Amino acid sequence: MSRAALLVTHTGRRQSAAHARQVARDLLDAGFEVRVVAEDIGDLELPPGVIAVDGPDAAEGAEIVFALGGDGTFLRAAELARPAKAPMLGINLGHVGFLAVAETGDIDQAVQDVVEGTYTVHERLTLDVRAEYDGRLIADSWALNEVTVEKGQRAQMLELLVDVDGRPLSRYGCDGVVCATPTGSTAYAFSAGGPVVWPEVEALLLVPISAHALFSKPLVTAPTSSFAITVDPYTFFAVLCCDGRRTWDLPPGAQITVKRGELPVRLVRLAPRPFTDTLVAKFALPVDGWRGNRR
């Protein structure tokens, strides 16, 4: 039975293209069918034998999806891997790379682990989101990190009513709200003042952005909870965004529903690594503290 892998990389970076070529050669030598998204293949100068694929079924039947780049590349690859239920392996060629499990110096070992099948797969919770206005569907999408509803005009405050589990929670005058997964707790939600949640925890997060309200604390709810966000009919238009990649304009009066996604994203784990170690490494946390630097 043939084995197949899909490669997704950042074609605008020379270093990423070089690594993609090496990974493609190694996988071809190991007998893999190697696929690359058609729009990328011309910029990568890949070895003969690589197959150009296109459309939402690019990862269908693939054993694994390689994401070579930063978190943006990983999120792009997730759009292809998730519907095919294909596990993803992120190799960080960007800056922080919170979603990656390997760094540049680990590429050869990562490919070897895939070839030998010495890896495990675990699932990450996702979000499903729908936006409607006056009985009309505006958006039906999903997110791995976060769904945001933000103001569409820089100079104007947005008025939002937030319901949790079908009950009204609060009305915010704000720049917006972030609905996040534990995976996304270290992304936009973190920047907005939300808590860091370990990826193994099943929960949903709601973080107001610059809210002018007495109660504006971030919330952590059950994974079975749902959020309903209503753009006040007398306010200005808003913008819905999923993972910073897919956006829709929301008119005043629009209603947005966010809940746990039906399909998770499957991630490859090469070797056990405590999330604490990842947090310290990615954020360069001062474990010794500034007091330890005294002479």
- Domain assignment present for 171: yes
Tens-digit pLDDT profile for residues 84-103? 999 999 988 866 667 888 78
139, HSE (Cβ side, Cα atoms, 13 Å): 25
What's the domain count of the chain? 2
Residues 178 and 269 in one domain: no
Residues 12 and 113 in one domain: yes
Which residues are paired to 240 by β-bridges?
Answer: 149, 248
Quote the mean pLDDT of the chain: 90
Asked if residue 129 lies in contact with residue 147, where contact means CB atoms within 8 angstroms, the answer is yes
Q: Which amino acid is at 195?
A: P
- Domain assignment present for 289: no
Tens-digit pLDDT profile for residues 177-219? 999 999 999 999 999 999 999 999 999 999 999 998 878 999 9
Name the residue among 295, 231, 43, 254 with its Cα closest to residue 139.
254
- Domain assignment present for 295: no
96 φ, ψ to 5°? -80, -55
Tens-digit pLDDT profile for residues 218-272? 999 999 999 999 999 988 899 999 999 999 999 999 999 999 999 999 999 887 7
Is the pTM higher than 0.85? The answer reads: yes
Tens-digit pLDDT profile for residues 150-170? 999 888 889 999 999 999 999
Residues 51 and 65 in one domain: yes
CATH (domain of 146) = 2.60.200.30
In this prediction, residues 38-65 reach a mean pLDDT of 86
In eight-state DSSP terms, residue 44 is: T
- Domain assignment present for 11: yes
Query: Both tokens of residue 91?
Result: 């190799």
Tens-digit pLDDT profile for residues 17-28? 788 889 999 999
Residues 184 and 256 in one domain: yes
Q: How confident is the model at residue 11 (pLDDT cuts 50, 70, 90)?
A: low
Full domain range(s) for residue 111 = 3-124+264-283
Residues 177 and 272 in one domain: no
Catalytic residue numbers?
Answer: 71
114: Cα separation from own chain's centroid: 22
Give CA–CA dist 127/20, Å, rounded. Answer: 30
Which one of 5-14, 64-73, 192-201 scores highest in mean pLDDT? 192-201
- Domain assignment present for 291: no
C-alpha pair distances (Å), 33 with each of 21, 47, 49, 59, 234 = 14, 12, 8, 12, 55
- Domain assignment present for 290: no
Q: Which amino acid is at 284?
A: A
- Domain assignment present for 288: no
